[in-house]
Amino acid sequence: MDVSELLDSLNDKQRDVVAAPLQNMLVLAGAGSGKTRVLVQRIAWLMKVEHVSPHSILAVTFTNKAAAEMRSRVEQAVGGNVHGMWIGTFHGLAHRLLRMHFQEAKLPQAFQVLDSDDQLRLVKRVVRALNLDEKRWPAKQMQWYINGKKDEGLRPQHIETHYDPTEETFVKVYQAYQDACDRAGLVDFAELLLRAHELWLNHPILLQHYQQRFTHVLVDEFQDTNAIQYAWLTMLGREQGKVMIVGDDDQSIYGWRGAKIENIQRFLKDFDGAQTIRLEQNYRSTANILNAANKLIANNNNRLGKDLWTQDDAGEKISVYTAFNEIDEARFIAGRITEWQKRDLAASEDSLDDVAILYRSNAQSRLLEEALLQANLPYRIYGGLRFFERQEIKDALAYLRLINNRDDDAAFERIINTPTRGIGNTTLSLVRDAARSMEVTLWRACQTMLINQELKGRSAKVIRQFIELIEQLEDDSINLDLDQQANFVIQHSGLKAMYQAEKGERAEARIENLNELVTACQTFEMDPELMEEQSQLTAFLTHAALESGESQADEYEPAVQLMTMHSAKGLEFKLVFIAGLEEGMFPSQQSVEDIGRLEEERRLCYVGMTRAMEKLYLCHAESRRLYGQEKYHSPSRFLKELPGEYTEEIRLQNQVSRPKSSGRFSNTISLETFENSGFKLGQSVLHQKFGEGVVLNYEGNGAQSRVQVNFADVGSKWLVVAYANLTAL
Ligand code: ATP
Ligand code: MG
Q: What is the pLDDT of residues 330-382, one digit of tens each?
A: 999 999 999 998 887 666 778 899 999 999 988 899 889 989 988 999 998 87
Is the CB–ligand 1 distance for residue 252 below 6 Å?
no
Is pLDDT of 553 > 70? no
As a whole number of angstroms, the distance between CA 68 and CA 64 comes to: 6
pLDDT of residue 180: 84
Is pLDDT of 118 > 70? no
As a whole number of angstroms, the distance between CA 256 and CA 565 comes to: 15
Q: What is the pLDDT of residues 285-332, one digit of tens each?
A: 999 999 999 999 999 998 988 878 999 899 999 999 999 889 899 999
As a whole number of angstroms, the distance between CA 184 and CA 223 comes to: 35
Residue of 336, 386, 611, 624 marked catalytic: 611
Reported confidence tier of residue 165, pLDDT bands at 50, 70, 90: very high
Beta-strand relationship, 86-88 and 57-60: parallel
Atom nearest to 10 CA in ligand 1? 27
Q: Which of 38, 20, 21 is nearest to 29 (CA)?
A: 38
Q: Which helix (H) or strand (E) holds 359?
A: strand 355-359
- Among the ranges given (518-527, 559-568, 631-640, 700-709), the one the predictor scored with the smallest mean pLDDT: 700-709
Q: Is 611 a catalytic residue?
A: yes
Q: Which residues of 496-512 are buried (b: 16+ CB within 10 A; e: fewer)?
A: bebbebbbbeebbbbbb
CA 565 to ligand 2 center in whole angstroms: 14
DSSP sequence for 493-547: TSHHHHHHTT-HHHHHHHHHHHHHHHHHHHH----GGGTTTS-HHHHHHHHHHHH
Is the CB–ligand 1 distance for residue 11 below 6 Å?
yes
Q: What is the pLDDT of residues 561-586, one digit of tens each?
A: 999 999 899 999 999 999 999 999 99
Reported confidence tier of residue 529, pLDDT bands at 50, 70, 90: low
Average model confidence (pLDDT) across the chain? 86
As a whole number of angstroms, the distance between CA 12 and CA 424 comes to: 66
Q: Is 660 a catalytic residue?
A: no
As a whole number of angstroms, the distance between CA 651 and CA 155 comes to: 56
As a whole number of angstroms, the distance between CA 561 and CA 575 comes to: 10
CA angle (360 as vertex; 359, 362 as ends), nearest 5: 80
pLDDT of residue 324: 85
- Among the ranges given (603-617, 619-633, 693-707), the one the predictor scored with the smallest mean pLDDT: 693-707
Task: Compute the half-sphere exposure of residue 181: CA atoms within 13 Å on the CB side of its CA.
Answer: 28
As a whole number of angstroms, the distance between CA 437 and CA 447 comes to: 14
Q: Which of 522, 534, 537 is nearest to 401 (CA)?
A: 537
The more confident residue out of 182 and 610 is: 610
pLDDT of residue 554: 58
pLDDT of residue 497: 93
Peptide bond into 419 cis (omega under 30): yes
What's the distance, CA 256 to chain centroid? 13
Q: Which of 288, 269, 515, 481 is nearest to 392 (CA)?
A: 515
Q: What is the pLDDT of residues 423-463, one digit of tens each?
A: 888 898 899 889 888 888 889 999 999 999 999 888 999 99
Q: Going by CA atoms, what residue is nearest to atom 15 of ligand 1?
A: 284
The more confident residue out of 474 and 716 is: 474
Is pLDDT of 685 > 50? yes
Beta-strand relationship, 355-359 and 573-578: parallel
pLDDT of residue 728: 78
Instruction: Tell me the CA distances in angstroms from 117 to 45, 140, 143, one per residue in order.
Output: 42, 10, 10
Beta-strand relationship, 706-711 and 691-699: antiparallel
As a whole number of angstroms, the distance between CA 685 and CA 405 comes to: 49
Whole-model pTM: value is: 0.75
Mutate to test the pocket of ligand 1, among 15, 18, 37, 304 (most ligand atoms within 8 A of CB): 37
pLDDT of residue 51: 93
Q: Which residues pair with 552 in a beta bridge?
A: 379
Reported confidence tier of residue 67, pLDDT bands at 50, 70, 90: confident
Is pLDDT of 240 > 90? no
CA angle (125 as vertex; 498, 421 as ends), nearest 5: 50
pLDDT of residue 550: 44
Which residues neighbour 274 within 8 Å (Cβ) at sequence distance 6 or greater?
A: 23, 24, 25, 26, 267, 268
Q: Let me know: does 667 contact 325? Beta carbons within 8 Å.
A: no
Reported confidence tier of residue 670, pLDDT bands at 50, 70, 90: very low
Is the CB–ligand 1 distance for residue 10 below 6 Å?
yes
Atom nearest to 571 CA in ligand 1? 3
As a whole number of angstroms, the distance between CA 87 and CA 483 comes to: 48
The more confident residue out of 82 and 205 is: 205
DSSP sequence for 590-654: GGTT-HHHHHHHHHHHHHHHTTEEEEEEEEEEEEEEETTEEEE-PBPHHHHTS-GGGEEEE-STT
Atom nearest to 283 CA in ligand 1? 16
As a whole number of angstroms, the distance between CA 326 and CA 579 comes to: 9
Is pLDDT of 708 > 90? no
As a whole number of angstroms, the distance between CA 566 and CA 606 comes to: 11
- Mean of pLDDT values over 245-268: 91
Q: Which one of 37-46, 103-112, 427-436, 669-678 scores highest in mean pLDDT?
A: 37-46
Neighbours of 446 (CB within 10 A): 26
| Packing angle, helices 482-492 and 391-404, rounded to 10 | 110
CA 281 to ligand 1 center in whole angstroms: 9
pLDDT of residue 703: 65
Q: Let me know: does 574 contact 617? Beta carbons within 8 Å.
A: no
Q: Let me know: does 382 contact 565? Beta carbons within 8 Å.
A: no
Mutate to test the pocket of ligand 1, among 8, 249, 283 (most ligand atoms within 8 A of CB): 283
Length of the chain: 729
CA 107 to ligand 2 center in whole angstroms: 35
Q: Let me know: does 455 contact 448? Beta carbons within 8 Å.
A: no
Is pLDDT of 714 > 90? no
How far separated are the first and last CA of the chain, in Å rounded? 76
Question: 3-class SS at 339?
Answer: helix
Reported confidence tier of residue 660, pLDDT bands at 50, 70, 90: very low
Report which DSSP code applies to 355: E
Within the chain, how many helices (H) and strands (E) appear? 28, 21
As a whole number of angstroms, the distance between CA 545 and CA 389 comes to: 9
Q: Let me know: does 486 contact 502? Beta carbons within 8 Å.
A: no
pLDDT of residue 672: 52
Closest ligand to 574 CA?
Answer: 1
Residue of 151, 188, 191, 220 marked catalytic: 220
CA 28 to ligand 1 center in whole angstroms: 13
pLDDT of residue 414: 86
pLDDT of residue 38: 96
Question: 3-class SS at 666?
Answer: coil
Q: What is the pLDDT of residues 646-655, one digit of tens each?
A: 999 987 543 3
pLDDT of residue 551: 47
Q: Is 220 a catalytic residue?
A: yes
Phi, psi of 322 (to 5 degrees): -100, 105
CA dihedral 7, 13, 16, 17 (to 10 degrees): -90
Is the CB–ligand 1 distance for residue 9 below 6 Å?
yes
Reported confidence tier of residue 524, pLDDT bands at 50, 70, 90: confident
Q: Which residues are annotated as a binding site for ATP?
A: 29-36
Q: Is 574 a catalytic residue?
A: no
Is pLDDT of 22 > 70? yes
As a whole number of angstroms, the distance between CA 97 and CA 214 comes to: 13
- Among the ranges given (15-29, 624-638, 672-686), the one the predictor scored with the smallest mean pLDDT: 672-686
Reported confidence tier of residue 65, pLDDT bands at 50, 70, 90: confident
